[in-house]
Structure 1
Amino acid sequence: MDTTKRGGVPLHWLMLIGFAVGLGAGLYVNQFVGPDVVWVQWLTSNVTGPAGQIFLRLLFMLVIPLLFSALVVGVAEMGDLKSLGRAGFKTLALTVVVSTIAVIIGLGMVNYFRPGDGVDPALAQRLLAEGAEGAAGIVENAPESVQFGQFFLDLIPSNVFTAAAENQILPIMIFALLFGIGLVMARGPNVDHLKLTIEGLLEVTMKLINMVIKLAPIAIACLMFNLAALFGWDLLVRLAAFVGVAVGAMAIHMFVVYPLVVLIGAGRSPLWFFKGVQRPMLVAFTTASSNATLPVSLKAAEDELKLPRKISRFVLTVGATANQNGTALFEGVTVLFLAQFFGIELSITQQVVVMLVCILGGVGTAGVPAGSLPVIAMILVMVGIPPEGIGLILGVDRFLDMCRTVLNVTGDLVLATVVSRGEKDEPVSPEPQPTVASVA
C-alpha cells in the first residue's frame, strides 16, 4: 500500500477517515432520513455518485498500460533463466502452481461460507442497475458459459489492438506474458532499448496510479455514503464476514500450504523455516510493502536459512515483483464476495476466468502501490458487478494489505527454499600467488 502522506497524515489513515465519514453519514441517512428522499437522491446522483465514478474511471483508464507494462517487465526480469538453468524454470513453475493454489483456496472459502449473502435482493438489484449503467461502454459483461475449447481459443487475441480497444483483459495479459518471454529470449541493443521503453511506461503508469490513489479518501467517502445510505447496517455485517473469510483463507495458505511445500518440495522442517523467517514476516506486516522487506528477506535467507546466495538473490528479487500469492488470493476473494453481495451467481467458466486473471494479476500488479485496485475494478465489470462495490473493501484494505504482504513475502522465501534444494554456491577461487620465477 502506498505510504504517501498528505498534509503530514499517512494516506491510509486518510482513507480510513474517508471510510468512516462516508459510512457514518450513510448510516444516518438510512436510519433517520431514508434513501428515497428527494435531496438524498439528488446528492447521490449529482455529487457523491459522479465523484466515485471519476475515481473508478481513472483506474479503468490506467489498467491496460499498467497490466501490460508490469507483466512484461515482471517476466523480462527473469532474464537470468538461461544462466541459472533449471533454477529459473523451477522458480517460474512454482510461482504459477503456488499462486493457483492460493486463488483456489480463496475461491473455495468464499463459495463455502458465502460472506456476501443476506443482503436485501431489491436493494442489491437497484444498485446493480445503477452500476451497470455507470459501467456501460467500459467493457462487456462476460458470458454466462462458453464451450471449453472456445474458452481457451478466446485467450489468444487475433488482434491485440482490438482486444485492448474492447478491454478484453485476459487476452491482453496472455499477449503481455508472451511478449515478456520474447524479451527474455531475444538479445541485442534494440531489444534492450525496447525493454527500457516498457520500463519507462511502467514508471509513468505507476506515477499516475499514485496520483489517482491520492483521490481515494474522497472517493471512498462518496462510495461508502451511497452504499451505506442504501444498505444500512447490513453493510457492516457483510464487511466483517468478508474480512473474516479473507484472513481465514490467508491463514490456511500460510499455515497449511506453505509448510507442506517446504516439507515436500525442500525436504526441510516447517518449524525450522518459520523460525528463520520471523523477522521478514514482522517487517512485512508493519510496512505492508514487499519492496521494503526485500533487504530483510535477503539477509534472513542467507544468515538464517543458509540458502545459496546466487539462488536466494535471484528468487527473492524476482519474487518481490512476480510471486504475489497473497495479492492473487485477495483479488479472487474480493470479486466473489462482491458478486454474492449484489446477488450475482458466477458460472464455473466465469470463476475460472477470475482465477486466471488473478494469477496473472499477481505478476502484473506486483510492486505497484495499490496496484490491485485497477485489476479488481476491471474484473468486477467483466463479470457484471457494479464497480462502486470496490468502496466496500477500501476502508479495511490497510489491514488486509498487511496480512497479504506477509503472505507474499513468506511465499517468496518458501520459493527460494524449494528452488535451493540441491543447489550450492560456486566456490570462490583464491587469487593465484606469484611464484619466484614470475616475480623474477
Structure 2
Amino acid sequence: MQEKKKLSLIAKIGIGFIIGLILGFVIGPLAPNSPFVAKVILPVLQLIGNIFLSLLKMLIVPLVFSSLVMGASSIGDPKVLGRIGVKTIAFYLGTTIVAIVIGLLLGNIIQPGVGMAIEGAKAVAKEPQTIFDVILNIFPANPLKALVEGIMLQVIVFALFLGVAATLIGERGKAFLEFNSSLAEVMFKITAIVMKTAPLGIFALIAVTAAKYGPAVLAPFAKVIFAIYLGCILQMLLVYSGLIAGIVHKSPMWFFSGVREAMLAAFVTRTSAGVLPISMDNVQNKLGVSENVSSFVLPLGATINMDGTAIYEGVCALFIAQAFGIDLSLGAQLGILMTATLASIGTAGVPGAGLIMLSMVLLSAGLPIEGMALVAGIDAVLDMARTCVNVTGDMCVSAVIAKTEGEKL
C-alpha cells in the first residue's frame, strides 16, 4: 500500500492561514453580541498566537548568534580570505544591499499596507536617528547587554568578530567553534520543533486580525505579491544583467539561457541548497566557469547571499509598518538595510529562515512582530520568487568572479 504524501510545512501554514481568515470573518461580526466569542474564543486565539510569537522571539538571539559565529569562522579562514574570497564576499554583500534598497523603494512607492489601519500595535517605531548614530550603534560597547536585550545589529557584529577571531587564533579557537557548532545544531533542531507549531500560531493570529478588521485585510496582499515579484524582476534585469554585460561582457540572454534550468528548479522547489548540484552543472557546463571558482562561490552564496530574501524583507517591513500606521524614518529604514545585510551571513538553510529573519528585522526596526502573521499565509508564493533570485544571484556572481580571474567564458 502506497504511503500518503505528507503536507509540507508551508502548505500547512497556508491552510492554517486560510482557515484562520474564514474563522475570523465568521466570528468577527458575532463578537459584539456574543460574550462567548468576545471573552473566550478571541482571547484563547490571542493566547495561542502570543505563545507562538514568544517562541519565535526565544529563538532569535541564540540562533542568529551561533549560526553567525560559524558562518563568520568559515569566511574568516585565512586560506579562504584570499583574492577570490574577498571579491566574492564584496559582490554578494553589494548585490544584497542593492536588493534591500529596491525592496524599500518599492515599499515606499507602492505602499501595500496603506489602508489596513490595524490598531493596537505593541511596539512603536524607534525615534529617528541620524545616519552617524545608526552606524555608531551597530558596534556594541557592552556585547553581553546586546545579547540580553536582543539588540540585533550589535549581536550580529559581535558574532562576526568572534567567528573570525576564533579562526585566526587557530588550534586554541577550535573548542569555542565546536561549542558554537553544537549550539547552532541544537538551535536548528529547536527551530524545527517551533516551526511545527507555525500553522497553529499563524491560524490563531490571522483569525484574531480578520475578526477585528474584516475583509479589509485581504486587499493589500495582492500589492505585497506584486511589489516583491516586481522587485525580483528588477534585481535580475538591472543588477544581474548589468553585471553580466558590464563585467563578463556577454549578453544577459546568454546568462539567463545558460542558467534557466537552475532558476526553474529553484522557483519550483524553493530551496537554494537543494538545487546546488543543478547550479554547479549550469555554471560549469553552460557558462564555462571553472570548477575551482564555482565550487567555492556557489556554496558560499547558498550561505550568505540572499538577494530575493532581502527584497522580501524590505517590502514586508514597510508593509507591516504601514498596516499598523507606523511611520518609518530614514534612519529606521537604514537600520533595516544594515540588519538584513549582516543577517544574511550564516542564516541560509535553516528551516523557517524567512520567518526568523523577518521577525529579527521587525524587532530591530521597532515594528510589531505580530505583523509577521499578515505575510506568513502567502509565504509560499513569495518564497518561489525570492529563492529563484537567491540562486540566480549566486550564479551571476560566479560568472563575474570567473571573468575577473581571467577565465574565458
Are 2:157 and 1:182 aligned?
Answer: no
Write out aligned runs for 1:357-396 (5 A): 357-396=339-378
From 128, 145, 148, the equivalent of 1:165 is: 148
Q: Which amino acid aligns with 1:187?
A: G
Q: Report what 1:341 is aligned to.
A: 323
Shift of 1:343: 0.5
Q: 2:38: which partner in 1? A: 41
Q: Is the CA contact 2:107–2:318 (under 8 Å) kept in the aligned structure 1?
A: yes
Distance in 2 separating the partners of 1:111 and 1:366: 27
Is 2:125–2:326's contact at 8 Å kept on the other side of the alignment? no
Task: Tell me the amino acid that sits aligned with residue 200 of structure 2.
Answer: I
Q: Shift of the alpha carbon at 1:42?
A: 1.8
Q: Secondary structure at the match of 2:127?
A: coil
| CA distance in structure 2 between the aligned counterparts of 1:171 and 1:390, rounded to whole angstroms | 23
User: SS of the counterpart of 1:9?
Assistant: coil
Q: CA–CA distance in 2 between the matches of 1:84 and 1:306?
A: 24
Does residue 87 (structure 1) correspond to residue 84 (structure 2)? The answer is: yes
Structure 2 residue identity aligned to 1:38: P
Residue 303 of structure 1, aligned match among 268, 285, 288 = 285
Could you tell me which amino acid in structure 2 is paired with residue 12 of structure 1?
I
- 1:314 has 2:296 as partner: yes
Which structure 2 segments of 5+ residues have no match?
none
Letter in 2 for 1:174: V
Cross-structure match for 1:284: 266
The answer as to whether partners of 2:20 and 2:206 remain within 8 angstroms in 1 is: yes
> Could you tell me whether the CA contact under 8 Å between 1:250 and 1:404 is conserved in 2?
yes
User: Alpha carbons of 1:193 and 1:284: their partners in 2 closer, same or farther (altered >3 Å)?
Assistant: same
After TM superposition, list the pairs within 5 Å mapping 1:253-272 onto structure 2: 253-272=235-254
Is the CA contact (8 Å cut-off) linking 2:68 and 2:160 kept in structure 1?
yes
Separation in 2, partners of 1:423, 1:73:
28
Aligned to 1:12: 10
TM-score, normalised relative to structure 1: 0.87
Q: 1:118 aligns with which of 115, 122, 131?
A: 115
Alpha-carbon separation, structure 2, partners of 1:216 and 1:209: 10
**How far has the Cα of 1:146 moved from its partner?**
2.5
> Unmatched 5+ residue regions in structure 1?
133-140, 426-440
CA distance in 2: counterparts of 1:142 and 1:160, whole angstroms:
23
Larger Rg: 1
Q: Which residue type is aligned with residue 78 of structure 1? A: I
Residue 28 (structure 1) aligned with residue 11 (structure 2): no
Alignment deviations for residues 71-98 of structure 1 (CA, whole Å, 9 cap, x no partner): 2222222256535721110011111111
Q: How does 1:114-153 map to 2 (within 5 A)?
A: 114-119=111-116, 121=117, 124-125=118-119, 127-128=120-121, 131-132=122-123, 143-153=126-136
Amino acid at match of 2:148: A
In 2, distance between residues paired with 1:381 and 1:321?
23
Q: CA-to-partner distance for each residue in 1:198-256, whole Å, 9 max, x for gaps?
A: 22211111111111010011111101100111111111101121111111111111222
Q: Distance in 1 between matches of 2:249 and 2:41?
A: 58
For 1:152-231, list aligned pairs within 5 A: 152-188=135-171, 190-231=172-213
Distance 1:384 1:313, change over 3 A: same
Match of 2:215 in 1: 233
Counterpart code for 1:183: A
**In the alignment, does 2:47 pair up with 1:64?**
no
Query: Which residue identity is paired with 1:232?
Result: G
Output the aligned Cα RMSD.
Answer: 2.1
> What is the CA–CA distance in structure 1 between the aligned matches of 2:218 and 2:402, rounded to whole Å?
45
Q: Distance in 1 between matches of 2:68 and 2:81?
A: 21
Deviations 1:296-345 (A, max 9, x none): 11111111111011111100011111111111221121111100011100
1:142 offset after TM fit, Å?
5.6
**Shift in Å at residue 65 of structure 1?**
1.2
Aligned match of 1:55: 52
Q: Displacement of 1:399 after TM fit?
A: 1.5
C-alpha distance in 2, partners of 1:184/1:35? 61
Deviation at 1:46, TM superposition (A): 2.9
Distance 1:43 1:246, change over 3 A: farther
Q: Kindly, what percent of the aligned residue pairs are identical? A: 36
Distance 1:12 1:147, change over 3 A: closer
Cα distance in 2 for partners of 1:374, 1:396 equals 16
Q: TM-score, normalised by structure 2?
A: 0.93
**One-letter amino acid matched to 1:359:** T
Say whether the 8 Å CA contact 2:125–2:328 is kept in structure 1: no
How many residues align structurally? Answer: 405
Kindly provide the CA deviation profile for residues 396-423 of structure 1, in whole angstroms up to 9, marking residues without a partner as x: 1012111111010001001111111143
Cα offset, 1:45, TM superposition: 5.0
Shift of 1:284: 0.7
How far the C-alpha of 1:388 sits from its partner, in A, is: 1.7
